[in-house]
Amino acid sequence: MLSLDDSRWTTLTHAYGSAADIPDLIRSLAQAPAPQDDARSEPWFSIWSSLCHQDDVFDASYAAVPHIVDIACRSDGPVDFSFFQLPASVEVARRNGRGPALPADLAEAYDHSLEKLADCIARHRHEAWDEATLLSVLAAQAVAKGHHRIAEAIMNLDDDLIERLILLDFDA
């Protein structure tokens, strides 16, 4: 895993240019992993907008995912749904060609972190999950098992689509 102190972060990029700011955002995230009440809460808002911007991902996204998964795996209490959703979203975007190729020097840690998602989910399985967390966990589990298309389908579920699926209403 790329150290947060590594100078390489200054050469990695995200949606707004240099990823030099990402290590500090990750450090902030590690200090407050609990669920957030507002989607615009920091540091998640900046992390999402930088690393998974309008479904596009960047080389810094691949470097950040192992840290995000590691924080969630080490957390003793409930974690924000984004700990599951962001890694799943990055992998879906990568597999759909919405980002650069995974750099060889980041590949081992990135791939291992996706596999580790299943253990992370198991660690948090006894916590109360709201619907957003449940869907994020399901998407992360699908990614951990190599099923990015299923993860993408899960991430697209909303109340309307869930109701249509329950009713087997496929005409819309």
Establish if 2 belongs to a structural domain: no
Q: What are the tokens at 5? A: 């102190």
Indicate whether 123 belongs to any domain. Answer: yes
Domain that holds residue 58: 7-166
Nearest C-alpha neighbor of 59 from the set 110, 12, 114: 12
Strand partners, 32: none
Q: How high is the pLDDT of residue 37? A: 83
**pLDDT attached to residue 169:** 87
What's the Rg (C-alpha) of the chain? 16
Instruction: Note whether residue 68 is domain-resident.
Output: yes
Residues 6+ apart with CB under 8 A from 106: 2, 59, 62, 63
Region 121-127: what's the mean pLDDT?
95
Instruction: Please report whether residue 1 resides in a domain.
Output: no
Query: 16 Cβ partners below 8 Å, 6+ apart?
Result: 49, 50
Per-residue pLDDT tens over the stretch 27-73: 999 999 999 888 789 999 999 999 999 999 999 999 999 999 999 99
Domains: count for the chain: 1
Residues 151-160 have a mean pLDDT of 94
| pTM confidence score | 0.94
